[in-house]
Amino acid sequence: MPRILVADELGREGLEILEQEPGFQTDVRPPLSESELCSIVGGYEGLVVRSSTRVTHNVIEAASRLKVIARAGIGIDNIDVGAATRRGILVLNSPEGNVTAAAEHTIATILARARNVVLGDALLRRKEWRRKELVGFELAGRTLGIFGLGHIGLVVAKLAKGFGMKVVACDPFIAKEVAAGQGIELLEKEPMLAQADIVTLHIPLNDKTKNFIGRAELRKMKRGSILVNCARGGIVDEEALAEALHNGTIAGAALDVFAQEPLGDSPLLAEPGVVLTPHLGGSTEEAHRKVSADIARQIVAYFKSGQVTSAVNTLQVKEPRLAPYMNLAEKLGSLGAQMCPGRVLRVSVVCQGAISEGDVRPITVSALAGVLAASCGDTVNRVNAEIVSRERGVRLTESTSPDSPHYVNLISVMLETEKSVRTVGGTLVDGREERIVHLDNYPIDVPPAQEMLILFHPDRPGMIGRVGTILGENAINIDRMVVGRKTRGQQALMVLTLDDPVPPEVLSKLREAVPASQIDSVKLP
C-alpha cells in the first residue's frame, strides 16, 4: 500500500482522487520546513508538492522509500531533480493544467503595463487625477518577442496575434517550419531583442538560463521596450533590470516571479515603471483544479500499473503502442543478467519490425534497467539506469531494423560480461501477450513469469522426467515447460515457469541429478 505525503496545498479534486483510491494512504501535512520534511519523508513512497515546499538534496537523502515526487504544476526548480534521478526517484509534473492561466496572466501584465493600469490605480487611490502622465500604447501593430515556444509560449503567441501583434520568437528546439505554421518568425537572441517592442520569457530555470537577461541583453533591447517575466525567478538579473528601468534603458517591465520568493527588499519596488505580482501565473480556480486532478491521476497510474505520462527525469513513450515493449525489454534484460555471471561490460538492444519506426530509446533504457537491477537491486530503475551504467563503465548500444523474418516485432537483448555472453529475444502476441522466443538462438515460446527455472542439458531421454520428479518431491508446481534445441542429440534448453521459487537446496539436487552445463533459478520483475 503506497503512502502519499501531500506537503503543499492541493486542490480538493486531487485529494479526493488519492483518498478514494483503494490501497492508498494519503497524509496532508502543509506547510513543512526542510527539517520537518526530512524527519517524516522516510515513511512515504510518494511526495506531492506545489511551489512552496523545497525538495532539497537533504530531503531526498532522507527519503529511503520514496518512488515518486509529484509537482502539481509545471515548474520543478524547487526540486533537486539531479539528486532524485541518481536515487532512481521519478519526478512528475503537470505541464498542461496551468497553461491557459499562465498565458492569460502574461497578457494581463503586458496590458497592465502598456496602459499604466497599476500606477493609475495607485494615483487615483491617493486622489490624484493625472491622466496626462498615464498615456499608454496600443498592442496592435507592436512586435512581441517570445523566448521559448513551449505550451505556454505558443498560447501567448496566439493571444497576442488576437490583439493584432506581430510575433517573433527565439527557441533553438523548434523548427522554422513549425513556427512558420503558427505565423511566427524565428530569430536568434540578439536580433529578437533588438526588434521586439515587448519581450516575454517562457523558458525553464537551469544552469544555462540563470540570469538569461542581464545587463548586456537589456542594453540590446529597444529603448522604449518592455520586459515581461512570468516564467521563473532567476532568469532575469533583477538588479540589472532595476538599473535599466532607472536609467531609461528600457521603458518598463512586468514580473510575476522572482529569484527570492516571497519578494523582500528589492530595488524593483522603487521603480514606478514595473508591474509586480506575487507569482500568480497559475493561480486560477480552473488551473488549481486541473493540476491537482492531473497529478493525482498520474500518481495513481504509476503505483497501480507503472504508467508514466509526464516525467521530467525519464524517457517518455511518444507512441503508446510501444509502452508494453518497455516492460518486455526490462524482463529480457533481467533474465539475461541473471544467467550471465560477472561484471557487465556491454548491453546491446536490437528492435526489429514495425517498432523500429518509432523512438525505441525508452525500450533500450528499460532493457538496461533490467540488466542492472539484477545485480544492484531496486536502487536501479528506468530513471537512473543510464547514470548507473556510465558510472560502472557499461557500454550501451542500440540498433533497429524494419526486417523481422519470423515476428511482426522482435526485441533482442545481448549482454556481455567478463565471463560470458547471453542473448535473449522476445515479442508480443497480438500486441499484448509477452513471449520469450529465443535464448542464445535456441527457439522457445514461453511467457515470462516471476519464477522461472532454466537448464542447458544434453538432448537425450529422461531429462524432463528427472527435473519434474525433483520439483514434485519438493512440492514445487510447474505452470508450463518448453524445450528447444538446435541439433538433435546435442544440447537442449529447458525452460519452466513455476508457482514457487526454487530453494538453493533443491537447485543443488537438480545439479546432482541432471548433467546440465548450467541451471539457473530466475526471478523476473
Q: Hey, which residues are catalytic here?
A: 232, 261, 279
| Euclidean distance between CA atoms 347 and 365, whole angstroms | 10
Return the closest-CA partner of residue 454 out of 419, 491, 407, 489. 491
The dihedral sign for the CA sequence 478, 423, 385, 94: negative
Phi and psi of 14, rounded to 5°? -70, -40
| Euclidean distance between CA atoms 462 and 253, whole angstroms | 85
| Euclidean distance between CA atoms 41 and 69, whole angstroms | 11
Q: Which three cell numbers stand for residue 284?
A: 486560477
| Euclidean distance between CA atoms 438 and 436, whole angstroms | 6
Respond yes or no on whether the N-terminal peptide bond of residue 95 is cis (omega within 30° of 0). Answer: no
**Burial of 88 from C-beta contacts in 10 A (0-12 / 13-18 / 19+):** buried
- Residue 48 falls in which region: left (phi positive, over 0), alpha (psi -120 to 50) or beta: beta
Phi and psi of 83, rounded to 5°? -65, -40
> CB-side exposure of 10: number of CA atoms within 13 Å?
31
| Euclidean distance between CA atoms 508 and 506, whole angstroms | 5
